Chains A and B, each alone.
Chain A
Amino acid sequence: MHIPDGFLSTPVWATLNAASLPAVGLMARRARVHEEDSRIPLLGTLGAFVFAAQMVNFPVGAGTSGHLVGGTLLACTLGPASAGLVMTAVLVVQAFLFQDGGVLALGANVVSMAVLGVLAGYLPYQLWGGGRGRRVAIFLGGTFSVLTSAAAALAFLFLSGITLPPALMRLPLALFLVTGLLEGLITVLVIEAIERIDPNWIRQPDRSRTPAVAFLGVAALVLACGGFAVASSYPDGLTRLGSELGLAERAVALFSTPLADYQATFPGAEWLQRIAAGIAGLSAAFLLCMAAGRLLAARKRA
C-alpha cells in the first residue's frame, strides 16, 4: 500500500520523513558492518529480483491474481537490516520511476513497509524459525508483514484526517487480510523451493540472541494496542482521592498535548485514538530508554 503525495498532512509526512532518516542510516550501517563488500551488488540485484518476482502472478480466485510482496522473503535470506535497506531502495525506485508512492510520502512508506513490515515479517522467524514450527513461523511472518504495513499506512492516513466510514473500512481490511494470508503461503512455498536448490541461501535464525527481549517487545506492543479493551474504567486511587477532596475541579492544565488522557487527538474512532496514543507512548519510552542506555554505556567506556 504505497501512499501517494498529497494525502498525508504536513505534520505526519514531516515526522515520518524525520523518523525514517535515522532508521535508514542504521540499516545502512548494519548492512555495511554485516555484509562483505561483495554482498552490496547482491543486495541491489535482489532488489531488482523483488520487482521481477512481483511480475509472477498466481490465481487468487474470482478472476483476480496476486503477487509476492517480498519483505519476509528478503528478511529470511539477507537478515532484517539488509532486507530493510533493499526494500527502501525498491520504494525509492518505485516513487521516482514508477510513481508508485509519493516522494514526500517516502518516509511514511519506508516506515510502514521497509521498517515495520520487514521487522514484523522477521520476528516470528527469529522466534520460532529454528524448530519444528518453522513453516508456521514463515507463514506468520509473511502474513504479519503485509498486515503490519497496511495497518501502519491506514494509521498514517487516519492521523492525516482521512477517515474511512466503518462500512467502507471492511473492504480494504478484507483485502489486506487475504493479501496477507497469500503472502504467508507464497513465502513458505518460495523458501522451501529455494532450499531445495541450495539450503545455504536461507539464513538461519540468530540463536545467539535471547528471545526474551523480542517477547517483551511483542507483549508491550500488544498491551499498548489492546490493553485499553480490558482495562478498568474506574479512576486510580490518587485521582479518586483528588476528586473526593474537590482538588480535581481546581486543577488547571498549563498546556495541552496531542496525547492528553492517553487518547490521540485526531478525527476517528476512539479505539484508534487510544491505540495511536499507546504506540506513541511506547515508542517515546523506548527511544528515551535507549538514548539513556547508550549514554550510560558511552560514559562507562570512557
Chain B
Amino acid sequence: MTSAAWLRERDARAVLLALLAILVGIAVTPSARLPILAVLLIVIAVAGHVSVGPVLRRSAMVLPFALFLALAAIPARGWEMAAVLAGRAWISALYVVVAVESATAPRLFSALARLGCPQPLVTVLQFVYRFVSVLAGVASNIRAAALARGVQRAGRRRMFGVAAGTIAVLFARALGRATRIHQAMVARGYRGQIPSPMRERMRVADGLLIIGAVALVLTIRTQ
C-alpha cells in the first residue's frame, strides 16, 4: 500500500483528532519550534500525494484577514510577533486543507456525528455542503438575468432594491428546493439521518495516527 493510500484510508475520526492535536500544538508551541511543524506538514503532503497548488491556494484564503490582524498587532507586539501570529494562522490553515483533502468533507462531517456532535447540526452541515454550489449557481443565474435586463445602469438606490429582491427570490427558490429534496429523500427512505458514505472502523493504524500526532506535539512542546 502506498503512503497516499494509507493516509486516505484512515478513519475520518482519527484524522480529525490528529488534526486537533496538531492545531493545539501549533497554538502552544514556542515560535522558534514552529518550523518543525511546517516541515512535518510538507512530509505529510508529499507522502499523501496531495496537490501542492490547490492546497497553497486554498490555505492562502486565511491570509488577508490574518495579515490585517497581524499588522494591527505590530504597535503592541512588534514585527516579529506579528509575523509569528500570521505564520501560525497560515500553518494551521495548511493542516486543515491537507486533512480535508485526505479525508474529504462528507467523511469528516460523518465523523463529527460519530464523535458526539449533535445529529441536527451534522445533518444541516451535510445539506449546506451538498447545496452550497447548487444555490451559488442559482444566485449566479439570477444575477446574469438581472444584468441582461440592464440593472447595472440603475442608480445606487435602485441597485440596493434589486439586490434585496434577488436575495428574496433566492430564498424562495431555496425553500422550494428544500421541499422537493425532502419529498425525494422520504421516498428513498429518509428517517431523519443521512447515512455515512462508507462504514468506517477504527483500526490499529488509526490509533497510531492519533498517538503519533499527540506524541509529536508533546515532544516539540516539552523539549
Contacts and interface: CB of A to CB of B under 8 A. Distances in A.
A186 B160 contact: yes
Interface string A94-119: 01111110111000000000000000
Nearest to B166: A56
Interface residues of B, number: 79
Interface string A192-214: 11101110010000000000000
Contacts of A19: none
A59 interface: yes
A59 B93 contact: no
Interface string B59-98: 1011001100100110111000000011111011100110
A10 B28 CA distance: 7
A24 interface: yes
B129 interface: yes
6 contacts: A43-B123, A47-B127, A61-B156, A85-B121, A93-B128, A104-B23
Nearest to B24: A104
B61 A100 contact: yes
Contact of B170 (A10, A31, A43, A49): A49
Given A32-B120, A89-B124, A189-B161, A48 B85 contact: no
Contact of B128 (A2, A6, A59, A89): A89
Q: Which of A7, A98, A100 has the most CB of B within 10 A?
A: A7
B72 A162 contact: yes
B72 A168 contact: yes
B142 to A, nearest CB: 8
A104 B175 CA distance: 33
Contact of A197 (B76, B87, B126, B172): B172
B171 A29 contact: no
B211 interface: no
A189 to B, nearest CB: 3
Interface residues on A, range: 35 or more
Given A43-B120, A44-B127, 10 more contacts: A4-B65, A5-B92, A24-B118, A24-B121, A42-B179, A58-B162, A99-B93, A103-B92, A193-B168, A201-B172
Chain A residues touching B, majority SS:
helix
Given A51-B132, A186-B163, A193-B165, A45 B127 contact: yes
A68 interface: yes
A90 B73 contact: no
A59 B159 contact: yes
B125 interface: yes
- 8 cross-chain pairs, A with B, having the tightest CB-CB distances, nearest first: A44-B127, A6-B88, A189-B164, A193-B168, A28-B118, A5-B92, A47-B128, A45-B178
B23 A5 contact: yes
Contacts of B58: 98-99
Interface string B102-135: 0001001000000000111101111111111011
Contacts of B167: 53, 56, 68, 186, 190, 193
Interface in B11-47: 19-20, 23-24, 26-28
Contacts of B166: 56
